[in-house]
A and B are shown apart, each in its own frame.
Chain A
Amino acid sequence: MQRSLFTATAAAALAAACLTAQAGTVTVLTSFPKELTTAYQKAFEAANPGIKIEILNKNTTASVAYVRELPEGQRPDVMWASAPDAFEVLSSFSLLQSAPEVVNKSAPAKIGNYPLNDPKGMYYGQALAGYGISWNTRYLKAHKLAEPREWTDLLKPEYFGHIAISSPSRSGTTQLTVETILQGEGWDKGWAQLLEMMGNAAAVTDRSFAVPDGVNNGQYGIGIVIDFLALAGKYSGYPVDFVYPSMTAVVPANIALIAGAKNPDEAKKFMAYTMSVPGQQLLFDPKIGRLPILPYNMLKAPAGYPVPQDIARRAKVQFDSQLSGARYPVVISLFDQMVTFRLKELQGATKAIHEAARALKVKPNSKGSELLAQARSLAYTPLVGAENVKNPEFLELFRKSRRDVAVSKQLTGLEQMWADKARANYERARELAEQARGMAK
């Protein structure tokens, strides 16, 4: 009896499962938070009766795998996410189709130096985001720390163990931040700054959202984050604040039509809506907190809302997306080997360096200062030189398929070398700094 009831329930549910995806339904694959997607879903459905929006939320990795594995005609219609790398991958597998008619002509072609839409015309900028520093005000007060303004502030010894960042190999947005610093300061100086900053890091997380989340709940004092994640926390009442350093880039979050979509025509209507005036106006919602692509004279912006064009104009760096793309695999791999996987050793070296510097300030000693300078140079020099990263052969190696055993061997050998060298350098730097500190006594 019980069993038959169970079977009946299962059968009924099975039948219900078959009734999905009627005509007129646009499936949107996205990694955006529920507040944002629900707002767009409701507004669009109200403006276009008869078209239903089905939101399918997956993280970026799952999204890419999902589209790749589904046959044509069963794929979702629209891909909507921040990370440009995901769109690049989909585009390289010919999983996107161009839909130039959805683009709003009133939007500028470039923000600063960054093209709003994909130059190949496969995906389009729908909103803008800038990168910066966010902090928990209660945390900073409890630890008696000043509010940081610039990336260079984060190198100061008092911030040791208070900073969080997500790994650039995991988060396309962090990769852009790292690249911005590298382009703004130059390869060698940029890396030195990054490594010194990471020496102060408490954690390198694997998800972008873990950083603002940790800052919101006070686990970390300071986070390197994308603006809307920090602003949404601030407007939800959390004791957090956010600043754009002068070395920042404003880049688009993207939307694209998936090749082999079920309902391309309705999907294009939705895409066009997100870039229209009412669609852009939604971005000002405090729970969403993103920057629009349309100029502010077409919209009703809340007072004091950041203006993307201003931030882009103020920004010291002219972001070169081609350069960023060319050295992308080198940068993320080097970051992982020198920082993500060796964080403990890097922290150890940095702690010793901070202590030695403090001791030498009280009791200067020229031999000590010399040792300290050596320690710094050992710990904060990138293992790949500026010349090397311009070498096309070197870059080409990283473009090859790791499925080839020989290529994989070469690459893992290289990574192994970086890992060993980084560990040895941090270890030596720590010893030198400890010696330097000893001399100050």
Chain B
Amino acid sequence: MQAAALRPGTAGPGPWIAFGLILAFLLVFLILPVGTVIYTAFVNEGGVLTLGHFANFFSQGVFRESFFNSLWVALAATFFASVIAVPLAYLTVRFEFRGALLIQTLGVLPLIMPPFVGAVALQLIFGRSGSVNLLLDDWFGFTVPIMDGLVGVTFVESIHYFPFILLNLVAAMRNIDGAMEESALNLGARGWRLFRRVIFPLAMPGYLAGAALVFVKVFDDLGTPLVMGVTNMLAPQAYLRITSVGVDDPLGYVISVIMIAFSILALWMAARVMKGKDYATLQKGGSALQKRRLTAWESALAYGWIVLILLVTLAPHIGILLMSFAKVWSFSVLPDAYTLEHYGTVFSDANHMIGNTLLYCLLAAGLDVVIGTAIAYLILRTQLPARRWLDYLASAALAIPGLVLAIGYLRLFKGVQLPFTDTPLVGTWVLIMLAYAVRRLPYALRSCMAALQQVHVSLEEAAQSLGATRLSTIRRVMVPLMAGGILAGFVTSFITAAVELSATLLLASTESQAPMSYGIYLYMQSISGRGPGAALGVLAVVVVGLGTYFSHRFVERSRATVQAKQEG
């Protein structure tokens, strides 16, 4: 905002073109398709506009109750996710820590939790007759109903979505100028005070980006409450009404509209908090935060805490791994017997799914960071009117059930051919990829915005005064400086797209197009398919996890080269 004030009138046609392109993309692949479905919420039987459905909604006690339940769960989950993520981020970025990279990668794994498998695995570990409760019952004669009701939903959501905060916070903390810390140390700030007054505030854009995502995602999340059998929340209420076979109930769409409005409100409030504050620091890539050593006691404590957290958050993955090798696992702490044959089944008939997942998700995530960076640039560095609306529009995708988007696509693109061929668009995987891109755009967008907020505008001005054009400034200066945040966005989009199911299920028109999430769903529909389903889930986690690890390595290495160059 400061930037634009400094350079009024520099906006050439470039930003306008970018604005137009993004708006067109959002219009065609988000607003219009969704509009063709949810306009039902606003019209009467004959197509006359009405707000009657909204009035009906607010008069229903179940819905008021659902609204407050969703709100409560979203707030609680954001709090607990912060409790998990902030220490992990702080310890691994600030201190000399063996395996920091491994911990950061493992910390992302909870996001790669294929639907159905994750819930089944968690039930096997923490459920009513899960390993933990069976052991507790054996040893102490009591059980902990942690998977029950709203508490259970909060528990699962916190350990599932805390990586949103972790990823963005780590990226933000790495961007803090070491000089800030040195000045603070010189002025006498130490320990907790240093963290609370200097480091955490400087990393605020990253934290808020993550926390806002967790809040909105949990508020809109459907899968978790559904598989845990909690129906008194907004998303399940909408879903149950939209998917009742043969009943076209507009109230389902009313709930969707309300969720969209509320999500935008939450993001708007997060933006308000940031408004008028400047988080940009000038030095980049030079001296980052100092890494310090921990004393023996401190490191024992830190490692203990990290191991405990990782054990809880990775419990579903441990569960899946066991399931994928298990012959029969029923009402026992561990499976009865082990086998490798599930992996054989998966490799013999689901190979193409791995390739499909990689193809769709890489394309979708790539599209997301390009659009995300562009929107961030438009919002933070230009004065175009209504530019914030790009953010709100894109973020509305968070609140739209995958099923609604998919129905919209089928309806809107009916009869449209793929350019230069006579293949109908609805029969190709292009729509699946676009659905991923649209649904996961909000994640990439938040990270890109946070990254750009930390880049000081003077750096661009310096580049421009040295004769760089606007485009080459973006390419040679800004994008490299934002790399960490863009990568965080890419990784989140990629990972979460890899486990998308609801839109995939409707849009897949042949089995050869099916990605892994579809394959997992397919296997998990039968008793004898649980093993292969879990095996495919493990493969998904490994493939996506490796991708994440290597992109971290890539960024670390490029930082190292930059530093080496500066020192040499």
Contact = CB atoms under 8 A, between A and B. Distances in A.
Given A69-B414, A341-B232, A405-B53, A56 B511 contact: yes
A206 interface: yes
Interface in B24-70: 40, 43-45, 50, 52-53, 55-57, 59-62
A340 interface: yes
Contacts of B129: 139, 217-219
B62 A341 contact: yes
Contacts of A233: 527
Contacts of A213: 120, 527, 530
Interface in A60-92: 60-62, 64-66, 69-71, 74, 83, 85-86, 88-89, 92
B411 to A, nearest CB: 5
A402 B251 CA distance: 9
A21 B427 contact: yes
Nearest to B147: A219
A5 B55 CA distance: 55
A357 interface: no
Interface string B117-138: 0001001100111100000000
Interface stretch (B2-10, B416-424, B558-566): B416-424
B114 to A, nearest CB: 15
A10 B363 contact: yes
B529 A34 contact: yes
B505 A58 contact: yes
Interface in A302-345: 329, 340-341, 344
Contacts, number: 214
B424 A74 contact: yes
A65 B403 contact: yes
A415 B40 CA distance: 21
Interface string B123-166: 11001111000000000000000000100000000000000000
A420 B60 CA distance: 10
A337 B53 CA distance: 19
B229 A405 contact: no
Interface stretch (B172-180, B269-277, B328-336, B483-491): B328-336
A402 B247 contact: yes
Given A236-B527, A408-B53, A341 B60 contact: no
Contacts of B251: 402, 408, 412
Interface stretch (B237-245, B307-315, B473-481): B237-245
A124 to B, nearest CB: 19
Given A170-B240, A219-B129, A341-B232, A405 B60 contact: no
A154 interface: no
Contact of A416 (B50, B59, B403): B59
Given A54-B511, A214-B123, A86 B245 contact: yes
A239 interface: yes
A205 B144 CA distance: 21
B227 interface: yes
B403 A169 contact: no
B127 A219 contact: yes
Nearest to A398: B247
B60 A35 contact: no
Interface range for B = 35 or more
A61 B243 contact: yes
Interface string A135-147: 0101100100000
Contacts of B522: 34, 57
Interface in B509-524: 509-513, 522-523
B429 interface: yes
Interface in B318-334: 327-332
A196 B506 CA distance: 38
Contact of A136 (B245, B331, B410): B331
A405 B56 contact: yes
Nearest to A229: B527
A4 interface: no
Given A17-B428, A17-B513, A62-B506, A408 B52 contact: yes
Contacts of B52: 405-406, 408-409
Contacts of A403: 40, 43-45, 248, 250
A78 to B, nearest CB: 15
B526 interface: yes
A290 interface: no
A421 to B, nearest CB: 11
B565 to A, nearest CB: 22
Nearest to A289: B527
Interface in A36-61: 54-61
Most A-side CB within 10 Å, residue of B45, B123, B232, B407:
B45
A204 B411 contact: no
A209 interface: yes
Contacts of A170: 240, 244
Contact of A58 (B249, B424, B506, B529): B506
Given A344-B149, A412-B56, A69 B363 contact: no
A205 B229 CA distance: 5
B330 A218 contact: yes
A61 B231 CA distance: 18
Given A217-B120, A239-B330, A408-B53, A34 B245 contact: no
A209 B226 contact: no
A362 interface: no
Given A55-B511, A219-B123, A85 B246 contact: yes
A33 interface: yes
Given A55-B511, A409-B56, A85 B528 contact: no
B302 interface: no
A210 interface: yes
A142 B143 CA distance: 14
Contacts of A202: 128
Contacts of B430: 14, 17
A214 B248 CA distance: 30
Nearest to A164: B229
B331 A237 contact: no
Contact of B527 (A21, A204, A216, A341): A216
Nearest to A13: B359
B59 A413 contact: yes
B407 A83 contact: no
A64 B245 contact: yes
Given A69-B414, A401-B45, A405-B53, 16 more contacts: A6-B362, A18-B428, A20-B513, A56-B511, A69-B407, A85-B245, A86-B246, A89-B245, A202-B128, A216-B330, A329-B247, A341-B62, A401-B248, A405-B56, A409-B55, A416-B62
Interface of B: 40, 43-45, 50, 52-53, 55-57, 59-62, 120, 123-124, 127-130, 149, 226-227, 229, 231-232, 236, 240, 243-251, 327-332, 359, 362-363, 403, 406-407, 410-411, 414-415, 418, 421, 423-424, 426-430, 505-506, 508-513, 522-523, 525-530
8 contacts: A20-B509, A60-B245, A138-B332, A218-B129, A403-B40, A408-B249, A408-B251, A420-B61
